Amino acid sequence: MLAAMRRVIARMSLLGVSAGACACAHPFLARDGTLVFPQKGAHGAAVVTANGLEFHDTADVPQPIIVHDPYEAWRAPIGFLVPESGRFTETSHATVVATSGLAVSLRPSDTRVPSWGGEMLVRIDVMAPAAPGAARWGEDLAIVLDGRGPDTAALCAAALGQLGGRDRVVVVDAGSGRVVVPAMPASNRSLVAAAIERHLAERSASGATRDRAGAVARALRALASDAVRRVLVLSDAPDAASDEAPKGLGNDAVPLGVVATTARGGVDVAARARTIEEFVPPTGTVAFRDVVLSFDGTPAPSHVLEASGGTARWELEGGDLALGDVRAGDERTEVVRVTIPAWTPGEAYTLHVRARFADVARGERRTMSADLPCVYDDDVERLANSRNGDVIAYASALATLARLDAAFVGGGSDAAPDALRPVARMHARSLALLARDLHDPAAAEQAAMLEALLDAN
């Protein structure tokens, strides 16, 4: 018994918690067995770790992690910082680099970075405004998931790759009638793809009857009737879907495509993806090829750990995000995680971002660059309160859909995305309050979209 008490006291001392706070709130037991005595009037920040939400006081400064082997996996020195109040008070300011026909907007999650080292989230919006005649007008696409064939996710990705910034997409499951993705701009393709993958990973209800026509009708009701609408049914029973799905179209002349999610007759996934690409017209012609964003920091190194879309590549002093080809009229939003090395409080940290690509119209390779300035700080409360709520809320929704989840619990954690859902909802509500206080309709629209997505999944 005495040994057990000593272990509890030792854990309390490691957290910097005083047992003499007898006049404070009731003590509680953390998920890792730590007994915590909340201190009234304490200042600091909440931290999301593999053990859940923990509190760190302003004086509780983590120690830097010293890496002796260049091949050692990166570890988060501390969890994911959240304001102690659970409410963000800042929104990001975009840094935009642009050339004729292409613009890249960069929104960092932080302007103050931890002196003990850590990571930063960067929201990237890639936009290719189209000249008249270079891109089609916006359309609405309804995707109906009829069954869960092995190629469903790949075929969904093929359809989403055809859409642009002026398009919208909604996804409905034919078995449960559930809205997997509410109607949202197709620029959030990684968010949509993550929601679909999460839904497909769930075990379907046994013996559930499929209402293909009802799913088609429900999807169409979620889309604007004055826009061009298309319905794509991805089915493991394509013959039945071809017969039943048109009943949900009513008297509307809505184009309908049905594609098998399981290989039949030797038709591979690439051939079926080409069928989808013919059914869903591309947003425009290819304007820029091999678009790559490079990240490096001063001080170095700053590595790209993870990205919501594209291909992340680890370099010696930084990292690349390969986005592939960009069409005229295209628009996409991605989030990347970038490591930040430990350095001295009060000193400057700058994340350098460079875009390189081949300009099809000019027939030459080009580059453009931007810097995201930050300041090192060792005060966890100041760090948490300076975080940008709009970037955090967007990445938080991705985290609950099994994308970028390690950003919220620290590297190497096996925490389930469902454990992050309360944090994601907190971030979305915080963004809604922030939008109300700042009279920002764009932030309010984003908060409503994230809430709807969380409700659907």
In a domain, 37, yes or no: yes
The pairing of beta strand 95-99 with beta strand 80-83: unpaired
Q: List the single range of 44-48, 75-79, 120-124, 440-444 with lowest mean pLDDT.
A: 75-79
Q: Mark whether 306 and 411 lie in a shared domain.
A: yes
pLDDT, residue 29, reads: 54
Q: Mark whether 290 and 161 lie in a shared domain.
A: no
CATH of the domain at 216: 3.40.50.410
CA separation for the pair 7, 12 (Å, rounded): 9
Structure tokens at 107: 């929104």
Closest CA relative to residue 381, chosen from 162, 112, 72, 103: 112
pLDDT, residue 25, reads: 53
CA separation for the pair 196, 422 (Å, rounded): 20
In a domain, 66, yes or no: no
In a domain, 61, yes or no: no
Q: What confidence tens digit (pLDDT) does each residue in 26-37 have?
A: 555 555 555 555
Residue 183 has pLDDT above 60, yes or no: yes
In a domain, 250, yes or no: yes
Owning domain of residue 219: 139-279
pLDDT, residue 347, reads: 97
pLDDT, residue 74, reads: 66
In a domain, 80, yes or no: no
Domain closes at, from 279, 301, 327: 279
Highest-scoring range by mean pLDDT, 5-14, 69-78, 96-105, 257-266: 96-105
How many CB atoms sit inside 10 A of residue 50's CB?
17
In this prediction the pTM is: 0.85
Q: Mark whether 384 and 449 lie in a shared domain.
A: yes
Structure tokens at 77: 């020195």
pLDDT, residue 9, reads: 33
What percent of the chain lies above the pLDDT cut of 70?
Answer: 85
Q: Mark whether 378 and 405 lie in a shared domain.
A: yes
In a domain, 164, yes or no: yes
Q: What domain count does the chain have?
A: 3
Q: Is the dihedral of CA 404, 408, 412, 415 positive or negative?
A: negative
Structure tokens at 144: 């109906």
Q: Mark whether 154 and 261 lie in a shared domain.
A: yes
pLDDT, residue 30, reads: 55
- Tell the burial category of 442 from Cβ atoms under 10 Å away from its Cβ (0-12, 13-18, 19+): exposed
Q: List the single range of 33-47, 114-128, 230-244 with lowest mean pLDDT.
A: 33-47
Q: Mark whether 339 and 200 lie in a shared domain.
A: no
* Better pLDDT: 261 or 58: 261
Q: Mark whether 274 and 403 lie in a shared domain.
A: no
- Bond before 70 cis per omega within 30 degrees: no
Highest-scoring range by mean pLDDT, 202-211, 217-226, 240-249, 288-297: 288-297
pLDDT bracket for residue 229 (50, 70, 90): very high
Domain closes at, from 279, 302, 322: 279
CA separation for the pair 260, 176 (Å, rounded): 19
Q: Mark whether 255 and 289 lie in a shared domain.
A: no
Structure tokens at 205: 């209800």
CATH of the domain at 366: 2.60.40.3880
Q: Mark whether 273 and 289 lie in a shared domain.
A: no
Q: Mark whether 311 and 452 lie in a shared domain.
A: yes
Q: Mark whether 413 and 321 lie in a shared domain.
A: yes
Residue 3 has pLDDT above 50, yes or no: no
- Whole-angstrom CA distances from 72 to 33, 66, 314, 345 are 29, 11, 13, 26
Q: Mark whether 235 and 291 lie in a shared domain.
A: no
In a domain, 85, yes or no: no
Domain closes at, from 257, 279, 301: 279
Q: What confidence tens digit (pLDDT) does each residue in 116-143 have?
A: 998 999 999 999 988 777 888 889 999 9
CA separation for the pair 53, 43 (Å, rounded): 15
In a domain, 64, yes or no: no
